[in-house]
Amino acid sequence: MGPGTAGRGRKVLVTGPESTGKTDLCRFLAGHFNGLMVPEYARTYIENLKRPYRYADVCAIAREQRLQYDALQDTGSWIFFDTWLIITRVWMDVVYGKVPRWVDGEIRKARFDLVLVCAPDIPWIPDPVRENGGPERQLLYRRYIREVEQLEWKYRIVDGTGEERLRNALRILQEDRGLPDF
């Protein structure tokens, strides 16, 4: 049996621009596969700040994301990461124009069995943490795809609305694993 075959958990990164259903998709997939979901740490961190975030805050978020990844290496379960260091790396670059070298190193060391990139084909819903609605979503979408391609990680685009998006993600995982229909 090769990598990603029966009997072994899988690490799946779910990424994409803001308001593209990443959290809902992770919850659904973790439940479907009786797996684990690593929540979006940046959202929790920023929501709990009593001031605007700073570069040092984004570095703290990145450190925690690295620790979350390292802690779940040998679980044997399906693990779905709701965003991760790739988004944080792009955030640092776009907002501050700089990325610590260790972030790039941690990203290069990481291994995911598959990356699901959520397409921005559902409406952007503003909230106090989101910053990039409108045309920025498309630019960031293309940027996340470029980042994953440069890492040479296997990825697939998840599109569609509502239940269709969830079914599309299941179909992708089914095809990736060579599993029978869910």
What are 60-98's pLDDT values in tens digits? 999 999 999 988 866 778 999 999 999 999 999 999 999
Q: Which domain holds residue 53?
A: 11-177
Any domain includes 3: no
Any domain includes 6: no
**Closest listed residue to residue 104, CA positions, set 140, 57, 151:** 151
Q: Where are the alpha helices (DSSP H) in 51-151?
A: 55-71, 85-96, 101-109, 135-151
Spatial separation of the C-alpha atoms in residues 151 and 165, rounded to whole Å:
25
Q: Count the domains in the chain.
A: 1
The CATH code of the domain that includes 63 is 3.40.50.300
Any domain includes 76: yes
pLDDT score of 74: 66
pTM for this one?
0.89
What 8-state DSSP symbol labels residue 158? E
Any domain includes 182: no
Any domain includes 100: yes
Any domain includes 1: no
Any domain includes 4: no
For 158, counting Cβ atoms within 10 Å of its Cβ (0-12 exposed, 13-18 middle, 19+ buried), the class is buried
pLDDT level of residue 2 (50, 70, 90 thresholds): very low
Spatial separation of the C-alpha atoms in residues 110 and 108, rounded to whole Å:
6
Any domain includes 158: yes
What 8-state DSSP symbol labels residue 40? -
